Amino acid sequence: DAMVIQNPRYQVTQFGKPVTLSCSQTLNHNVMYWYQQKSSQAPKLLFHYYDKDFNNEADTPDNFQSRRPNTSFCFLDIRSPGLGDAAMYLCATSKPTGYSNQPQHFGDGTRLSIL
């Protein structure tokens, strides 16, 4: 059973047209993450939520926003997608522990294309 679910799997949008990607989880994890991964590159963290606390990475463009209305759902909003935003977007969740190895669990990803 899928535990971190991303929708849609593939998203095509037009240059400059706002787009929202969604992520839901059945793991009841406190922490949810959004990553951007381009071809042959490592996943790059955009931001994460610890419960309702939002943590933005310093180099995440303002064009990227996120919402977490409840524990189970988290959204990635791209306000004005540019060609450089075409990538795989990965959602992940984890438990919040400071001293033990707590891995992140990834959804299947949404592959975003910009026309």
Partner 1 sequence: RKEVEQDPGPFNVPEGATVAFNCTYSNSASQSFFWYRQDCRKEPKLLMSVYSSGNEDGRFTAQLNRASQYISLLIRDSKLSDSATYLCVVNWGLNYGGSQGNLIFGKGTKLSVKP
Q: What is the 3-state secondary structure (H, E, C) of the chain?
A: CCCEEEECCEEEECCCCCEEEEEEECCCCCEEEEEEECCCCCCEEEEEEECCEEEECCCCCCCEEEECCCCCEEEEEECCCCHHHCEEEEEEEECCCCCCCCCCEECCCEEEEEC
Nearer to partner 1, 15 or 54 (CB): 54
**Nearest distance, CB of residue 80 and partner 1, angstroms:** 26
User: Please, which residue, 16 or 94, has the CB nearer to partner 1?
Assistant: 94
Question: Which residue ranges make up the site for partner 1 (CB under 8 A)?
Answer: 30-31, 40-43, 45, 48, 50, 53, 55, 57, 88, 90, 94, 96-109, 111
Distance of closest approach, residue 59 Cβ to partner 1, in angstroms: 11
Nearer to partner 1, 16 or 54 (CB): 54
CB of 105 vs partner 1, minimal distance in Å: 7
Instruction: Identify which of residues 73 and 105 has a Cβ nearer to partner 1 in the complex.
Output: 105
The alpha carbon torsion through 14, 64, 89, 99 (nearest 10 deg) reads 180
Shortest Å, Cβ 110 to partner 1: 10
